[in-house]
Chain A
């Protein structure tokens, strides 16, 4: 009697091989840029989708490029995971990597998969290109700069509390918050998700950069402990929670809700990056919003170095079969005056030498950027000044611990323990 089992096994293996043949896979991370018979090339670009940067915006942005280059079709792809950072590794693992990726900046892990743009002459004049380079090699090019260490404030609440000028030191900042609280306003708007930790990094950057100019490098080299070096800021933050300068239930608010709360006049100050100017311009409100650089510790230079990150960073996957078309697209995105202006305006970003229509608030931010002594990496950082992946998230989780009973020392130790575990 002939057993049918071998037939089952063969059928199964055949089916598997068939499926394996249909899909990509493995660790190769091959790209699937397509080229049709007519010579039309498709460049796939993975982008960040936000309330400012919608799918429709991206499609419209690249249309002039497609018209000027009839042989190239740009396919905008939204993240399928939580964001670009989660989606890219999934696509690489599936052998379905895009040709161009927006939002991420190269670190030691990512740079191995990215095209080296060091020899591209146009890349040299893009914003923060030197700061974002790794061991002198350029993998990431950007459109502009995002100022990080800004405090936006509701001018009406300042007037009501009798505050005639924004604070320049952190001690003055405390005094101002006391006056605002006494006047019946919530002094500082914060929220849950990633916002809690981000704001403290933004606020501390100008002081931290003066005390430890090579903070990220020193931590990487084991010369400095991140949590320990930021302990004074954690101690100060806890006093703000205790005194009611921030809402003790803030962790129950999402980022968007916190922004809405400030824009609807429920709080007096909001620490945020320059991209907030885009949301402010769209919001209907009956008060004026002003902005000042984050205050610094007593005795330090004010304004201090401004926390700065690359706006709309682009990288090209090394595996792309459409290298020329991808390079052409990225070059256009970061150097074409109309494309640059459009991206800067859409997400409230800045670039020296690029004139565009500014709102009054954007004008103030540009002035802050012009007067800042330098732009410094913040938190996780970029380029050679990069801490292990997810540092910002770990920092955020620990900082939120201040709201649920942890002491500043415990928080600082938690941050340092996390970093020690990533070495």
Chain B
């Protein structure tokens, strides 16, 4: 019988380093500015909006009365809000599609490294640098009833084109201008995504005989998954809050047909002196925006996982 002696288990002693108080203070100091900013810029305003939405504050009085859920009940019965919500959803859906299609399209066009591409990247991003108010006034001067385009059209004997005077045309015009003013950001984000696509994958696909379209569909686009998600969510959230362009381009008209929810919130709160009601509308918009962003992110993530598997 051979006795075998089991080798003793060699364990590496775990040295638990006791955090020093100084580390805690350093962490606190480093984190404090961001925490303070987050609380002051996000938590406090949201909390204040929630509180105000339960009052009848007119923006002037010292003691707003608590009205419970009355403002939220009134929201359900507000035809202006229903109309504005439809316009906002339309703007968000069509605008997100436009921003992303143009953004990705132009990103693919100016993806290579050359002087011309650098120039075109600047040109494409330029509209985003302009204030939305300036963009609105600019396009109303171009597309208004007596604007540059209609002057040309009528000079050539044509009928005035109702870019801003017909509700359908005005909504389409607004979406088009929003896309024009914003797609530069999407180009930049997609360009960043394209730089991260491994060249080895593209080269391998080409060696295997894949066409350009096949490479894009089966290699580039799946690799761009996270960029697409970021672009869609950012576009959607931005467009759901569309306000300043409405003010300068259509002023909510004709006949209030291009009023968005954000426009209505500002109008009700400050012009109409119904800050309590406006706050309830803004809480609703915040919840809808958060829910849509969450749903889109989940759907996209599921799609990305499916591609990877």
Q: Which of A137-145, A247-255, A270-278, A280-288 contacts B (4 or more CB under 8 A)?
A: A247-255
Asked if A374 is at the interface of the complex by the 8 Å CB criterion, the answer is: no
Asked if A300 is at the interface of the complex by the 8 Å CB criterion, the answer is: no
Q: Which of A11-19, A44-52, A53-61, A164-172 contacts B (4 or more CB under 8 A)?
A: A11-19
Asked if B61 is at the interface of the complex by the 8 Å CB criterion, the answer is: yes
Within 8 A of A (CB), among B161-185: 162-167, 170
In the bound complex, CA of A85 to CA of B58 (Å): 12
Please determine whether A193 and B251 come into contact, CB atoms closer than 8 angstroms: yes
Category for how many chain B residues contact A: 35 or more
Q: Which of A87-95, A127-135, A332-340, A359-367 contacts B (4 or more CB under 8 A)?
A: A87-95
In the bound complex, CA of A348 to CA of B272 (Å): 28
Please determine whether A27 and B62 come into contact, CB atoms closer than 8 angstroms: yes
Residue interface bits B252-272, CB-to-A below 8 A is 1, else 0: 111111000000001101111
Within 8 A of B (CB), among A239-295: 247-254, 257, 260-261
A residues near B145, Cβ cutoff 8 Å: 247, 249-253, 257
A170 CB to closest chain B CB (Å) equals 24
Asked if B190 is at the interface of the complex by the 8 Å CB criterion, the answer is: no
Please determine whether B247 and A82 come into contact, CB atoms closer than 8 angstroms: yes
B residues near A16, Cβ cutoff 8 Å: 36, 39-40, 44
A83 to B, closest residue via Cβ: B271
B232 CB to closest chain A CB (Å) equals 31
A258 CB to closest chain B CB (Å) equals 9
Within 8 A of B (CB), among A24-54: 27-29
Point out the residue from A8, A29, A250, A403 that lies within 8 Å of B31, measured CB to CB. A8
B145 CB to closest chain A CB (Å) equals 4
A267 CB to closest chain B CB (Å) equals 11
Point out the residue from A82, A253, A393 that lies within 8 Å of B146, measured CB to CB. A253
Please determine whether B25 and A8 come into contact, CB atoms closer than 8 angstroms: no
Asked if A397 is at the interface of the complex by the 8 Å CB criterion, the answer is: yes
Please determine whether A253 and B253 come into contact, CB atoms closer than 8 angstroms: no
A155 CB to closest chain B CB (Å) equals 23
Asked if B160 is at the interface of the complex by the 8 Å CB criterion, the answer is: yes
Given A8-B32, A11-B28, A251-B165, do A406 and B61 touch, yes or no (CB 8 Å)?
Answer: no
Given A193-B251, A253-B144, do A29 and B272 touch, yes or no (CB 8 Å)?
Answer: no
Asked if B189 is at the interface of the complex by the 8 Å CB criterion, the answer is: no
Given A112-B60, A397-B256, do A192 and B23 touch, yes or no (CB 8 Å)?
Answer: no
Point out the residue from A4, A93, A248 that lies within 8 Å of B25, measured CB to CB. A4
In the bound complex, CA of A400 to CA of B21 (Å): 68
In the bound complex, CA of A235 to CA of B122 (Å): 53
Point out the residue from B19, B33, B144, B270 that lies within 8 Å of A86, measured CB to CB. B270
For the complex with contacts A11-B31, A82-B270, A252-B147, 12 further pairs of A-B residues with Cβ separation under 8 Å are A1-B18, A2-B24, A4-B28, A7-B24, A7-B27, A247-B145, A249-B162, A252-B143, A252-B162, A253-B165, A393-B271, A397-B252
User: Which residues from chain B sit less than 8 Å from chain A, CB to CB?
Assistant: 18-19, 21, 23-25, 27-29, 31-33, 35-36, 39-40, 44, 57-64, 78-79, 140, 143-147, 160, 162-167, 170, 247, 251-257, 266-267, 269-273, 275
